[in-house]
Structures are given as C-alpha cells and as structure tokens.
Amino acid sequence: MKKIYPLSNDTWDNEEIEAIQEVIESRRFTMGQKTKEFEEKFVKYFGSKYAVMVNSGSSANLIAVASLIYSGRLNKGDEVIVPAVSWSTTYFPLFQYGLKLKFVDIDLETLNLDLTKVEKAITKKTKAIFTVNLLGNPNDFEKLSKICNDNDLILIEDNCEALGAKYNNKYTGTFGDIGTFSTFYSHHICTMEGGVALTNDEELYHYMLSIRAHGWTRDLPANSKLFKKSSNSFYESFNFILPGYNLRPLEMEAAIGIKQIKKIEKIIKTRRKNADYFVEIFKDNKNISIQKEIGESSWFGFAVMLKNELKGQRDKVIKFLTENGIEVRPIVAGNFTRNTVIRYFDYEISGELKIADYIHENGFFVGNHSNLIKKVIILFFEKITKFK
C-alpha cells in the first residue's frame, strides 16, 4: 500500500547535496574540520559550551554514560532512575557499564517520567536520573532539577527526540550534566546518521572527546586536565588512556549538519503549527487521548492512546490505518521491561508500571513533518473516527 501519511519527510535541498559534493572533492571523509565547524555552530545555537558529534544519538548516550563512569562520578552498581518507556539505547549504556537501572512509570498525559513516583523511587543508592523528553515533549525541569539538586543526583538528558524543544525559554538537552541529540533521518534535522552530546562541563567534554575516538589523546587540547600530553606529536597520535570506541562521524554528515542547523527555526515552527492543528482536531475525541504539551514541544510525532470503545483494539486499528496508507509506530519501545533483553540487566521496578503497560498495549504514534501536513492529519482523523 502506498504511504499517504508517512512517518517523516525529507528536509534536504541542493545545499545538502552540494555540501556532500564539497566533501567528496576534498577527499577528507572522516572526522575533520567540518565536524569541528558543526560542533561550534551547534553549541552556539543551543547555548551550551561544548559539543561532541558522534555517529548516532545512541553513541551520544554511550559516551555520556562512559564519561560519567571514567570521571568517577558514577560507579558500577550505582542506581540510575529511568522512565519505563523509551528507546533501547537509553538503557543499554547503563547496563554495559554495570549500573543498576531503576524503572519508574510515566505520566499518562505527558508520557514523560512521573515525577511524584520518581521522588518515591529515590534511595541512598540512587546516583543519577536519566530522563527522556519523549516524542519532543519537555519534562517539567523546574521540578526535576529541584529533585536532582535536593538529592545530589546527576541529571542526564536523552533529548534525541526533542531537538528544538524549550522549557522556560531554555532548550531541552541543556538542563542536565550531559544532553544527547540524534540527527538520524527521521529526526528534526537529518545528517543521514549522527548524534551530538552537549555539556557545560569541560572535564566531561574531554572524556567524551577521547572516548569517541579509540580512547586516545590525539583530540585532547594541550591544557587538558584529563591527561598531560607530551610535545611529541608522533607519540601522542597513538597514545591510549581510556577504553574508548570508534564513534566518529563522517565529514559528509557534519557538512550536511552545518546546512541543516540553518533550517532548525523553520522546521520547529512548522512542526509546532502542525501540532496546533492536530491538538485542536483531536482534543475532544472520546476514544483517543493525546500527549499533553509541557513547555514548548518540538513534536517529534503525535502520540495516540486508545480508550473507551477503541481500548484493546490496537492491532485492528493499526491494520486498518496501514491499509489506508497511514504509517504508524509503537510509542518508542512501549514498556521496555516487557522486552526479552531485560533478562541481561541488573534492574528493579519501582512500584507498578500501569501507564507504561497501558501505552504498551494501547498506544502508537503517527509522524509529524517539517512541512505543513493539514490534509493528511484530516485524513488520519477521518479514518480513525470511522473505524469500527
């Protein structure tokens, strides 16, 4: 069936193609000056101090957690609170570094961490909260930051779905000790594959620079407190100090990103305009509830929770929508504790995950685009309201 309402759209034009061609002609394909330029423009746009571009948002989460481990701010066995609904690579780095995950339920309206339940979940072993701005929707950072400050907790912010969102006129992804972003194809800006970690902490920045590229010293500045580099550039080219990875981006991705940054304001404005119409048309629907916006969401997509007459009929609804050219996806990974991979984790569930279960069984999302899509929103509304 032809997709009449796909999940995402293409935000490229000739500028991005020309940027790729420029890199091809330069013959410098791996991380270089374009990457540095992209990072500089990224921090300037979002008002942070340091950016590390990597090959995916998942890798951004990985270097974020790794930097907190190697800097001694987190240690194996420490407890990290996470929302029960998120993408897999919010959780995997925590498992991979021997941290204990404590799953907390989400709020039915915002789809973010239920902060009342977060407060009840905190113990002496809790050292961090890894929050997620789900589907572009900010957390209540006034409350969340107070919880972290009152309990001396590290705040990590998975902002991979929320580039351009704001809370109290401050960009999400800049509230935590580290914030992570994705620039994968279906996200707000697209660099093919790609991700970014933002921080205001110079030490964590230097750890992430090293971890990104093999754990070597080559990319560290001469004045880094992380390691005192010698003046021997030959030796420092292959000098390893951390168990790092190869998570470097391509210069093509960075070159595309430089062009995409210029479009962020327009992209977010359009997505919010689409959302205004989506919210208006669905606000009084008796069989569907939608996500409640906190602050200024960048509306990655539109969440749909089936209720009343449609509750328990998700499989039939999805089949019907798909047959009518409307592409749908689960709300991220639903209740992640219901995935088989959980058997490998050291984890605990705080209280019950009733809302996560409800989302797991009755939730899905449709796409938002960076161009106006009123016609397909109407199509979706007409189809789902006629479903029997």
| Catalytic residue numbers, as ranges | 187
Residue 177 tokens, joined: 């000790």
241 token code pair: 């100090």
Give the Cα separation of 20 and 38 in Å (integer): 14
Beta carbons of 188 and 300 less than 8 angstroms apart: yes
Residue that has been written with the tokens 């921090």 in this structure: 43
Token pair of 149 as six digits? 């400050």
Q: What angle do CA 145, 299, 167 make, to 5 degrees?
A: 25
- Closest residue by Cα to residue 195 from 207, 185, 206: 185
User: How is residue 143 written in tokens?
Assistant: 């409350």
- Token pair, residue 308, equals 């009343």
Cβ neighbours of residue 200 under 8 Å, at least 6 residues apart?
A: 48, 49, 50, 174
CA distances from 145 to 62, 90, 164, 301 (A): 22, 19, 19, 26
- Written as six digits, the tokens of 245 are 């990875």
In order, the DSSP letters of 280-317 are HHHTT-TTEEEPPP-SB---SEEEEEE-GGGTT-HHHH
Cα–Cα dist 338/355, whole Å: 13
CB 347 within 8 A of CB 99: no
